[in-house]
Amino acid sequence: MKVLTLNFLTCAVKTCKASSDSFPLHPKDAELVHDDLEINPQLLVNVLPRLDWTALRTTSTELGFPELPEQPPSAETLEADEAMLKELHNLLVETQMMEGKLVCGHCGHEYAVREGIANFLLPSHLV
Amino acid sequence: MECLIRFSQSHETFRLPEIQALAVVEGIELKVVSYSVESPFCVVRLPSEDAARRLVRRSVLVQSIHEVWGSGTTLDAVHATVVEQTAHLWGRYMTCSFKFTIDSYQRSRSNEDKVRIINSFAYLGFAGPIKMRNPDQEFTLFEDWPFNSTPLGLADPKSYYLGRYLATGARDLPQKLDLKKRRYISTTSMDAELALVTANIALAAPGKLMYDPFVGTGSFPIACAQFGALAFGSDIDGRSIRGDEKKKTLHGNFEQYGLLSELGGVFTADLTNSPIRKMPLGTSGDGVRGRLFDGIICDPPYGVREGLRVLGVRDPEKSPWVIPKGIEMYKQPDFIPPKKPYGFLAMLDDILQFSAQTLVDNGRLSFWIPTANDEDQEIEVPTHPYLEIVAVCTQVFSKWSRRLITYRRIPDAEVDQEAMKARVENTTFLGRTADELNPFRRAYFTGFEA
């Protein structure tokens, strides 16, 4: 799944939702894959206000990408900034996590990712 | 300009919602002048020829769209309007190649009649060559006949329209995504035509994020991806997403259609224990406020073939070993978490609540539900104060029918907060066995006996 998806995923355990540590999930032993895709500025501008930028910075660093600026660009700035568009495109759209684990920073639960598909099913004692 | 849309005479209750949704997607001002579910002809007002083309280019239920040149209840009336309204345009088409066609709905004309009718338009004075294949211009006389006009001895249809062809709809698109040729399908895969119509009504478009929480084999994400959206999906059944062999997977379907770049991600999850981030519903916001999706489209389980289950144990007292076993084994990679039956109405309510929390302002929720329960009582269209019903469309089978319900996420400031308070206090869904929880299930298995 594309790295963009990671910005949408938290720990599924209901009691973790109250804690801010449950988001973002932390990739562990992640195997990444890169696809060469045509850049879609319209998608990036559309997605920008929905991103949790702080979480994205964390995820980006944890996956070994160059650090993102502290503040997100505005829509107008982003549209004109070719370099930033390329950077976000590369990180969010062209990079996929294929294998590894996603770990909750609050309860430590590890969600497995296999063949690009993450498993968020919980045993009954966590539901 | 006035245009005539020639619809397919099928899925009649879906036609206007689809075309109205496409007007929203393309940013076109569309006014419907006349429409009936009993006729394939719909007259609309559009700002330009270009708008007409853009309006229908992704429409699965439109055959074609035409510029109206004349109309009436007799041929003489048509000729009068054609002369009055279009004489100033005839000069443009004096020398180009052209052809005339007759499209009679619920009637057939003999060849002699057709030739006679076409020749009655000779006053147009077109001097160019007549070309039957790919002419520069095509003129069609549409005839809307009532049912049984021949035994009734009717001489004229209800109405005639003369139209100049502008553009064709996308009726060949379902063939590309036809289930019969798709690598990986299951008993629950939604047929291509309706999946595409649903994606249109949910406003799927390039740059948008769409999500299906009951993704199965991916029919809805495929339709959304076909229209350029980035599609996400999840399902409680991981095997459904992973499929059987190398190519027979959800991912393989996207590969088959060249839509891999539009697949955002799929994961295994239970909607009632969702890993998708969401904030509590608020009363003000910037239109986003922590929300993610432009559209949510799905076909939730009705509680019949696939069984409606969520994570959890149905009766911990009857099977006390399940929970401790889970605690011991859950970290093993092949652990399968237990599931319990869940109510259909409760699930619908969860879908509405989830959508209210995760759709951006004016985003759309579209889902399918059966029309009636086992006692033939209509299942009420579920409601939520944060979601406004946009369209209810019905697909009729021989013994039952199902509906596509579409909602729009209202901006926080416009929500009736009193209604929200009442909702929070009133939501309880009773029942424990699959039959109690799923009103449709009983009827389905007893063959819809009265």
Q: Mark yes or no for CB contact A8/B286 under 8 Å.
A: no
Q: Which domains does chain B have, with CATH numbers?
A: 2-171 (3.30.2130.30), 177-445 (3.40.50.150)
Which residues does chain A have within 8 Å of residue B269's beta carbon, measured at their own beta carbons? 12, 120-121
Interface of B with A in 295-324 (CB under 8 A): 311-313, 316, 322-323
pLDDT of the residue at B445: 66
Average the pLDDT over A41-63 and give the result.
96
- Partner B contacted by A106 (CB < 8 A): no
Average the pLDDT over B224-252 and give the result.
93
Which residues does chain A have within 8 Å of residue B331's beta carbon, measured at their own beta carbons? 110
- For the ranges B123-137, B165-179, B305-319, B436-450, the lowest mean pLDDT is seen at B436-450
pLDDT of the residue at B216: 95
For residue A24, cis peptide bond before it (omega within 30 degrees of 0): yes
Asked if residue B166 lies in contact with residue B73, where contact means CB atoms within 8 angstroms, the answer is: no
Rounded Cα gap, residues B21 and B174, in angstroms: 18
Which residues does chain B have within 8 Å of residue A120's beta carbon, measured at their own beta carbons? 234, 267-270, 273-275
Range of the domain at A87: 3-126
Relative to beta strand B159-168, strand B137-144 is antiparallel
Rounded Cα gap, residues A99 and B349, in angstroms: 34
CATH number, position A122? 2.20.25.10
Relative to beta strand B230-235, strand B387-396 is unpaired
Smallest Cβ–Cβ distance between B238 and the set A9, A13, A119 belongs to A119
pLDDT of the residue at B185: 95
Among candidate residues B219, B207, B201, B182, the one with its CA nearest the CA of residue B59? B201
Smallest Cβ–Cβ distance between A43 and the set B207, B232, B241 belongs to B207
pLDDT reading at B147 higher than 90: yes
Among candidate residues B286, B264, B284, the one with its CA nearest the CA of residue B276? B264
- Partner B contacted by A23 (CB < 8 A): yes
Among candidate residues B141, B171, B133, B174, the one with its CA nearest the CA of residue B159? B141
- Partner A contacted by B276 (CB < 8 A): yes
- B177 φ/ψ angles, rounded to the nearest 5 degrees: -105, 15
Distances in Å between the Cα of B354 and the Cα atoms of B275, B348, B351, B358, B410 are 11, 10, 5, 6, 14
Please name the amino acid found at residue B80.
A
- Partner B contacted by A34 (CB < 8 A): no
Asked if residue B407 lies in contact with residue B388, where contact means CB atoms within 8 angstroms, the answer is: yes
Average the pLDDT over A42-65 and give the result.
96
Residue among A36, A90, A127 with most chain B CBs within 10 A, to mutate:
A127
pLDDT of the residue at B205: 98
Q: Mark yes or no for CB contact B242/A52 under 8 Å.
A: no
pTM: 0.93
pLDDT of the residue at B306: 57
Residue B444's pLDDT band (boundaries 50, 70, 90)? low
State what percent of residues in chain A have pLDDT above 90: 94
- Partner A contacted by B236 (CB < 8 A): yes
Residue B406's pLDDT band (boundaries 50, 70, 90)? very high
Spacing of C-alpha A87 from chain mean position: 14
Domain count, chain A: 1
Question: 């007893």: which residue's tokens?
Answer: B446
Q: Mark yes or no for CB contact B267/A42 under 8 Å.
A: no
Average the pLDDT over A99-123 and give the result.
96
- A17 φ/ψ angles, rounded to the nearest 5 degrees: -60, -30
Rounded Cα gap, residues B385 and B421, in angstroms: 9
- B360 φ/ψ angles, rounded to the nearest 5 degrees: -75, 170
Residue among A44, A50, A56, A91 with most chain B CBs within 10 A, to mutate:
A50
Q: Mark yes or no for CB contact A1/B266 under 8 Å.
A: yes
Residue B279's pLDDT band (boundaries 50, 70, 90)? confident
Residue B442's pLDDT band (boundaries 50, 70, 90)? low
Average the pLDDT over B315-327 and give the result.
87
- Partner A contacted by B232 (CB < 8 A): yes
Average the pLDDT over B21-41 and give the result.
97
Question: 């390039």: which residue's tokens?
Answer: B206
Q: How many angstroms separate the CA of residue B350 from the nearest CA in chain A? A: 15
Q: Mark yes or no for CB contact B276/A38 under 8 Å.
A: no
pLDDT of the residue at B282: 83
Rounded Cα gap, residues B82 and B78, in angstroms: 6
Q: Would you give the DSSP letter of residue A31?
A: E
B22: which 2 tokens? 């496409």
For residue B267, the tally of other CB atoms under 10 A from its CB is 25
pLDDT reading at B237 higher than 60: yes
Residue A115's pLDDT band (boundaries 50, 70, 90)? very high
Sequence-ordered list of residues with C-beta below 8 angstroms from that of B362, at least 6 positions apart, any chain:
B408, B409, B411
